[in-house]
C-alpha cells in the first residue's frame, strides 16, 4: 500500500480487515470541523470471528452484502454509545474495523462542548467517546467515508505513520476476546486502555503485518 496524503479510497478498504486496522492507526479521522489521529483500532472478520456482528446479527451480513468497502457501520451499544466501524470488503476476507480512540488535532472546542470534559487525553479515548466528541450521528450509518473529504479518513503525516504499533487483545467483548486484534499507536496517551507493555512490545507496521501473514 502506497501512502499518499489525502482521503482514503475504497481501494484502501478492499484488503484484509486486520491490514486495514493496522494501517488506520496513524491516519486521521475527519468530520467537518473536527480532526484527529487514530491511535487505536480493532479488527473483526465476517468469517471465523464470533465477536463480529455477522456471527449473530442477521442484518450485519446483509449490510456487508449491500454496501461497498469504506461504508460506515454505526450501531448503538449498551443503549448509550454509538460506535463507528468501517466496512472492509473485497480483499478476500470481509469484516469491520472499529475505531476505538483518536488523538484530537482540530476542533477541540466543539469536542469539549459535546463531551463536557476539559482534558484532551479523555475527549476521544474510547469508541463511544469519539463519536460523541466528533458529533458523528447515527444517521450516517450506511453512508460512505470515501465520498466526502469533510467526512472521511485521511492518510496521516509520514512521521505519524512511521511510529511503532502495538498488538493487544480486544477489549470489552465476551466472545473471541483472546484474539490479539487490537492495534494501538505505541506510547500514545490518548488510547482507551494502555496495553500491557511486557507482553506486547511495540513493533514496526511491517512487523505487525508479518505477524498476521499479511501482504501490504
Partner DNA sequence: ACACGGATACTA
Partner DNA sequence: AGTATCCGTGTC
Q: Which stretches of the chain bind DNA, using CB under 7 A? A: 42, 44, 51-53, 56-60, 75-81, 83, 85, 96, 98, 100, 115, 117, 122, 125-130, 170-175, 192
Q: Least distance in Å: CB of 132 to DNA?
A: 7
Q: In whole angstroms, give the CA distance from residue 98 to residue 171.
A: 11
Contact 92, 14 (CB under 8 A): no
Handedness of CA 57, 30, 155, 149 (dihedral sign): positive
Residue 126, C-alpha cell as written in the block: 474510547
Q: Least distance in Å: CB of 65 to DNA?
A: 13
Q: Give the containing element (helix H, strand E) for 167.
A: strand 165-168
Q: Quick one: 77 or 196, whose CB is closer to DNA?
A: 77
Q: Least distance in Å: CB of 151 to DNA?
A: 20
Q: Quick one: 48 or 59, whose CB is closer to DNA?
A: 59
Name residues whose C-beta falls within 8 Å of residue 28's C-beta, 6 or more positions apart in sequence. Answer: 35, 36, 37, 38, 105, 153, 154, 155, 156
Q: Dihedral angle at the C-alpha atoms of 198, 199, 201, 206, nearest 10 degrees? A: 180
Q: Residue for cell digits 473536527? A: 34
Q: Quick one: 151 or 170, whose CB is closer to DNA?
A: 170
Q: Quick one: 159 or 178, whose CB is closer to DNA?
A: 178
Q: Least distance in Å: CB of 117 to DNA?
A: 6
Q: Least distance in Å: CB of 59 to DNA?
A: 3
Q: Quick one: 79 or 92, whose CB is closer to DNA?
A: 79
Local structure of 34: helix, strand or coil: strand
Amino acid at each position: 500500500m502506497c501512502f499518499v496524503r489525502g482521503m482514503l479510497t475504497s481501494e484502501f478498504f478492499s484488503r484484509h480487515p486486520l491490514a486495514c486496522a493496522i494501517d488506520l492507526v496513524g491516519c486521521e479521522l475527519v468530520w467537518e470541523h473536527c480532526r484527529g489521529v487514530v491511535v487505536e483500532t480493532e479488527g473483526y472478520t465476517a468469517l471465523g470471528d464470533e465477536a463480529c456482528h455477522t456471527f449473530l446479527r442477521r442484518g450485519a451480513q446483509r449490510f456487508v452484502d449491500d454496501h461497498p468497502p469504506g461504508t460506515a457501520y454505526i450501531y448503538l451499544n449498551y443503549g448509550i454509545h454509538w460506535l463507528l466501524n468501517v466496512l472492509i470488503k473485497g480483499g478476500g476476507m470481509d469484516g469491520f474495523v472499529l475505531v476505538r480512540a483518536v488523538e484530537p488535532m482540530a476542533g477541540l472546542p466543539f469536542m469539549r462542548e459535546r463531551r463536557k470534559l476539559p482534558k484532551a487525553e479523555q475527549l476521544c479515548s474510547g469508541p463511544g467517546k469519539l463519536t460523541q466528541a466528533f458529533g458523528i450521528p447515527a444517521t450516517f450509518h450506511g453512508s460512505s467515508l470515501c465520498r466526502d473529504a469533510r467526512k472521511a479518513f485521511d492518510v496521516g503525516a509520514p512521521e505519524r505513520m512511521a511510529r511503532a504499533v502495538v498488538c493487544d487483545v480486544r477489549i470489552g467483548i465476551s466472545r473471541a476476546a483472546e484474539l490479539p486484534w487490537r492495534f494501538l499507536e505505541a506510547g500514545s496517551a490518548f488510547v482507551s486502555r494502555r496495553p500491557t507493555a511486557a507482553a506486547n512490545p511495540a513493533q514496526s507496521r511491517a512487523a505487525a503485518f508479518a505477524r498476521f501473514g499479511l501482504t501490504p
